[in-house]
Chains A and B, each alone.
Chain A
């Protein structure tokens, strides 16, 4: 699977081969990365690990302000990351999308808000919960 990994790295972003890419190129092959090593910083590179699995969503509510997610903030959501306990996730609860912190303890799954005006949601057996993706970054516009 080393080939697949290699291709995956090339695909990481639109226009900035990473140093990792150079190291994968066999000796004697001219490194295409060299000319780009000192390229201008690219926020895509910083915010998006898996472009094909990353989606942007906007938040209107204030239930997660404690986690730094302000109303109007833009979420970078990576679907390829495993939604383990403690991650901030986009959950689909009874068909509706919501952003909360995921808690999994003693077989009980809860969606935790980060604003004490809101109550945690304990998922009952009748409820349909699916994790849509993991929030990796939030962009809060200050203007």
Chain B
């Protein structure tokens, strides 16, 4: 599942007058374009284009410009996932607007795909495309085909070995294959997904990596990437682990989630990133009785992009509280950070204010966690990293679904 032009589509749900109008959405500090409507793409505006440079062109072309509104996008993402979950509880949220659904056991997959697409549009207002295939890699390609070819009405089912379709997919458009890798593949005479699917997996492994070898299998319909498995070139940051033994006590699950949140925060800081949205997942064992299988997630947006461990844990717990059901034995939880922005380069544009009022209780909990889990599992970022950023965000739309003051008024 992939929402079309996600950020733009979120804005349009509450601004139906912008249907057919070119729209772009800017990054956190209004620095560059991070989402474009179909019309804006057609006008030649590029992803990542610096806003101040293209401003005259945007004005001339009558493009409607929005600052990013992550509270809205996070909530709309959560709603879309709730729709998918009605069809199957076995799903993986891959990014703020992409999910993988396990449809094994279902028939009439094209009809089902249409049903999911239509229900998502009806319930949330968001347009989605559905790519159906035997493996995650093929499903990503199928989704691309559905999106680029209107004749399929937003749903495409790709069979392994479909030479005609695979031939049209260039290397860099295959999930997990970087632009850097493309020339090296071309040297071997591999120009597209069909070529790669016909390559010798052993050779690919020797020349490149196990990851790429898996891609070859995946392109042939042999699933190597499980649902939830951390995939290559993942957009967001995910920390997810099974509990050693089934867990039903809320405080223990809270502790685990805090550890994952901390780890996710560390990963982010290491890469110089900050997140706009956070998702907490929780599920029981999929091996258990289908009737008692429970899997849920909740997504929230930070007021401003952050990589502060204290805030991340707070948000992760807030979500956990929403999805925890007493009396179930849980097997796995996870924390997923998305809407990532570059913390280093944006910081210059922010008023910097050291974080002063850290909750004492939280500190106590963290200290206890460190003690229980040994080593410095949980620690705050060096004081320079904790931030209270004020963003520019001059053209941000109302927080229609998360703020009482911002509810849309109609005449």
**Chain A residues within 8 Å of B, Cβ to Cβ:** 3-4, 6-8, 10-11, 14-15, 17, 24-26, 29-32, 35, 50-53, 55-61, 74, 79-80, 90, 92, 95-99, 130, 132
- Closest beta carbon of chain B to A98's beta carbon, Å: 6
Give Cα distance in the complex from A114 to B19, angstroms: 29
Of the residues A4, A32, A79, contact of B124 by C-beta under 8 Å = A79
| A96-B17 contact in complex given A3-B290, A32-B328, A53-B124, C-beta closer than 8 Å | yes
**Contact between B410 and A58, CB atoms less than 8 A apart:** yes
Say whether A95 contacts B17, CB under 8 Å.
Answer: yes
What's the dominant secondary structure at chain A's contact region?
mixed
Task: Tell me whether A60 and B409 are in contact in the complex, defined as CB-CB below 8 angstroms, given that A10-B294, A24-B291, A50-B123 are known contacts.
Answer: yes
Q: Which residues does chain B contribute within 8 Å of A80, judged by CB atoms?
A: 119, 122-123
A3 touches which of B16, B122, B291, B328 (Cβ 8 Å): B291
Residue of A nearest to B293 (CB): A3
How far is B290's CA from A132's CA once the two chains are assembled, in angstroms? 35
Contact of B89 among A7, A17, A95, A132 (CB under 8 A): A7
Ranked 9 nearest A-B pairs via Cβ: A32-B327, A52-B82, A95-B17, A53-B123, A58-B409, A92-B16, A97-B410, A52-B79, A61-B411
Q: Find B296's partner among A10, A17, A74, A132 (CB 8 Å cutoff).
A: A10
How far, in Å, is B37 (CB) from chain A's closest CB?
Answer: 15
Cross-chain contact A14 with B322 (CB below 8 angstroms): yes
User: Taking the complex as formed, is B164 at the interface, i.e. its CB lies under 8 A from any CB of chain A?
Assistant: no
The distance in angstroms between the C-alpha atoms of A31 and B327, with both chains bound, is 7
B289 within 8 A of A: yes
Q: Are B16 and A97 in contact (CB under 8 A)?
A: yes
Question: Could you say which of B19, B407, B410 has the most chain A C-beta atoms within 10 Å of its C-beta?
Answer: B410
Is B410 a contact partner of A52 (Cβ separation < 8 A)?
A: no
The answer on a CB contact under 8 Å between A60 and B292 is no
Interface size on B, as a range, is 35 or more
CA distance A105 to B109 in the complex (A): 36
Distance (whole angstroms) from the CB of A13 to the closest CB of chain B:
10
Judged by a CB distance under 8 angstroms, whether B125 is at the interface is yes
Whether A55 lies near B401 (C-beta < 8 A) is: yes
Chain A residues, CB < 8 A from B19: 95
B410 and A60: CB pair below 8 A? yes
- The distance in angstroms between the C-alpha atoms of A80 and B322, with both chains bound, is 22
Chain A residues near B83: list those with CB within 8 A. 52-53
How distant is B135 from chain A, measured CB to nearest CB, in Å?
Answer: 23
Candidates B289, B292, B410; contact of A98 at CB < 8 Å: B410
**List of A residues within 8 angstroms of B294 by Cβ:** 7, 10
Greatest chain A CB density within 10 A among B83, B119, B124, B408 is at B408
Cα A3 to Cα B295 in complex, Å, equals 12
Contact between A6 and B328, CB atoms less than 8 A apart: no
A8, B17: Cα distance in complex, Å: 32
List of A residues within 8 angstroms of B289 by Cβ: 26
Given contacts A10-B325, A79-B125, A95-B17, contact A4 B407 (CB under 8 A): no
Does B85 touch A at the CB level, under 8 Å? yes
Bound: A100/B291 CA distance, A: 42
The smallest beta-carbon distance between A77 and chain B, in angstroms, is: 10
Query: How distant is the Cα of A55 from the Cα of B19 in the complex, in angstroms?
Result: 20
Judge whether B326 is part of the interface by a CB distance below 8 angstroms: yes
A130 & B409 in contact (Cβ 8 Å cutoff): no
10 further interface pairs, Cβ-Cβ under 8 Å (given A10-B294, A61-B410, A74-B407)? A7-B89, A11-B82, A11-B296, A25-B291, A29-B292, A53-B79, A58-B408, A79-B122, A79-B124, A95-B19
Contacting residues of chain B (286-311) with chain A, CB-CB under 8 angstroms: 289-296
Interface residues of B in 1-48 (CB under 8 A from A): 16-19
Q: Bound complex: CA of A56 vs CA of B291, how far in Å?
A: 33
Q: A3-B293, A25-B292, A31-B327 are in contact. Are A60 and B411 (CB under 8 A)?
A: yes
Measured CA separation A4–B82 after assembly (Å): 11
Once bound together, how far apart are the Cα atoms of A37 and B407, in whole Å?
32
Given the complex, which residues of A lie within 8 Å of B78, measured CB to CB? 52
CB-CB nearest in chain B for A50: B123
- B322 A79 Cβ-Cβ under 8 A: no
CB of B411 within 8 A of CB of A79, answer no
CA distance A8 to B123 in the complex (A): 14
Which residues on A sit within 8 Å (CB–CB) of B291?
A: 3, 6, 24-26
